[in-house]
Amino acid sequence: MPVLVMKFGGTSVATLDRIRRAAKRVGVEVSKGYDVIVIVSAMSGETNKLVGYVNETSPMYDAREYDAVVSAGENVTAGLMALTLQEMDVPARSWQGWQVPVRTTSVHSAARIEEIPTDNINARFAQGMRVAVVAGFQGVSPEGRITTLGRGGSDTTAVAFAAAFGADRCDIYTDVDGVYTTDPRIADKARKLDRIAFEEMLELASLGAKVLQTRSVELAMRYNVKLRVLSSFEEQSDDAGTLVCSEEEIMESNVVSGIAYSRDEAKMTLISVADRPGIAAAIFGPLSEAGVNVDMIVQNISEEGRTDMTFSCPTDQVLRAEKALAAAKTRGEVNYHDLVADTNVAKVSAVGIGMRSQSGVAATMFRTLSNEGINIKVIATSEIKISVLIDRKYMELAVQALHDAFELDKVA
């Protein structure tokens, strides 16, 4: 029988009533003839509670014990979901990560899935079981210890199962009804997209759209898993939500598919760096080792033999970045006059695979911002994305203006 993967996030299984509601959805797909693999998160709030316990117990915790503790919530939901399905006469059982086993790397709290054997669950499907409920977010290391995949990791679990079992589709049930052209809380003209390309979703996810974990989209793109994002709080039709799929499956689209933003960006400028070959490595090596997620990088020549180097990173990593660069300066690895941090910026991005074939997108973007009197501080571009750093106070205005300029409220 064809296999479907259905993933329910924390808000979708927050209470026994919601678990029942989710189980009914599963029952509908079973009655259509699917064997279903259900991936569940912890009941909403549970994981935060467990993380709180760990942080209070041991601020510099052993990540192996952290994983052993915080994986408990998913196990509870998995068992309850299996019981709920059984109550509805749907043959089901639960699996914890180590039982499948979901084999991962040993990088605790940020493990990557390496292998998901299918024999165990497929044998049960062959015997008449219709639903395998799997605890998301967790796996087991080569050393036999419990690992977790990082926050939002259940999305990745779901996609990995869909890839391993050759599922027809991977449905991600969440508390929003799909992917929007931008955040509806900021732009009321925001429109739900019926389809979006993997590449676009990837940019949007890494730009702060919290609908899907970035790695789950990467994985879906690599294995060409059809990913559907839809709400567990609304009645569903077969084409509800947003389908994240390969470019070829999208007939027509706007040049720009969405406007993303990130409020928590900081702009860091190293003033008057000695300009020599290898200077970029000398700066960004220590930052990487310190765990600073550098995003945009811009280099300006300021005077003979010296340069200014600007980069952006999340606001809460500014202190870490400053320490790492000061240490590199002390070690004589890098020489700069001053380090200036501007934490009053935001990043706004336009994303769309249509940019590849259509010119003028950047020009439209810059003109729009200029017309609104918004100064651009840093620009970075990729094949399907243009990002700018601007003053944070203009963020909402910029998002609305760009949404209008690219006519995202209208279907292509």
CB 106 to its own copies: min, Å? 14
Q: Do the annotations mark residue 174 as ligand-binding?
A: yes
- C-beta of 78 vs 204, nearer to its own copies: 78
In 3D space, the residue among 397, 345, 405, 355 whose CA is nearest the CA of residue 376 turns out to be 345
CB 100 to its own copies: min, Å? 10
Strand-pairing partners, residue 244, are 196, 227
Backbone angles phi, psi at 139, to 5 degrees: -155, -165
Strand-pairing partners, residue 265, are 314, 345
Write down the H helix ranges in 273-394: 279-289, 318-330, 361-371
Q: Using the rule CB under 8 A, is 50 a contact of its own copies? A: yes
Site string for its own copies, 14-33 (x = CB under 8 A): --x--x--------------
Q: Please give the structure tokens belonging to residue 318.
A: 């500014």
Are 290 and 324 contacting, i.e. CB atoms less than 8 angstroms apart?
yes
Distance CA 302, CA 272 (A): 7
- C-beta of 126 vs 340, nearer to its own copies: 126
Q: How many CA atoms lie within 13 A of 116 on its CB side?
A: 25
Q: Do the annotations mark residue 180 as ligand-binding?
A: yes
Sole window of 6-14, 28-36, 93-101, 196-204 interacting with its own copies (rule: CB under 8 A): 93-101
- C-beta of 98 vs 336, nearer to its own copies: 98
Site string for its own copies, 247-276 (x = CB under 8 A): ------------------------------
Distance CA 394, CA 199 (A): 27
- C-beta of 68 vs 298, nearer to its own copies: 68
| Dihedral angle of Cα 345, 347, 348, 353, to the nearest 10 degrees | 160
CB 26 to its own copies: min, Å? 14
Q: Do the annotations mark residue 7 as ligand-binding?
A: yes
Which residues from 124-153 bind its own copies, rule CB under 8 A?
144-146
Are 114 and 153 contacting, i.e. CB atoms less than 8 angstroms apart?
no
Q: Do the annotations mark residue 66 as ligand-binding?
A: no
Q: Do the annotations mark residue 373 as ligand-binding?
A: no
The residue assigned the tokens 């087991």 is 140
DSSP 375: P
Q: Do the annotations mark residue 256 as ligand-binding?
A: no
CB 87 to its own copies: min, Å? 5
Strands 338-351 and 378-382: unpaired
Distance CA 292, CA 198 (A): 26
Query: Over the range 103-129, which residues count as b (16 or more CB within 10 Å of their CB) and which as e?
Result: bbeeebbbbbbeebebeebeebbeeeb
- C-beta of 65 vs 333, nearer to its own copies: 65
Site string for its own copies, 63-92 (x = CB under 8 A): -xxx-xx-xxx-xx-xxx-xxx-xx-----
- C-beta of 65 vs 404, nearer to its own copies: 65
CB 1 to its own copies: min, Å? 23
Among 2, 21, 51, 61, binds its own copies (CB under 8 A): 61
DSSP 374: P
How many other C-beta atoms lie within 10 A of the C-beta of residue 3? 22
Q: Do the annotations mark residue 378 as ligand-binding?
A: no
Residue stretches of the annotated binding site for substrate: 47, 74
Residue stretches of the annotated binding site: 7-10, 47, 74, 174-175, 180, 185, 210-211
Question: Rule CB under 8 A: which residues touch its own copies?
Answer: 16, 19, 50, 53-54, 56-58, 61-62, 64-66, 68-69, 71-73, 75-76, 78-80, 82-84, 86-87, 93-94, 96, 98-99, 144-146
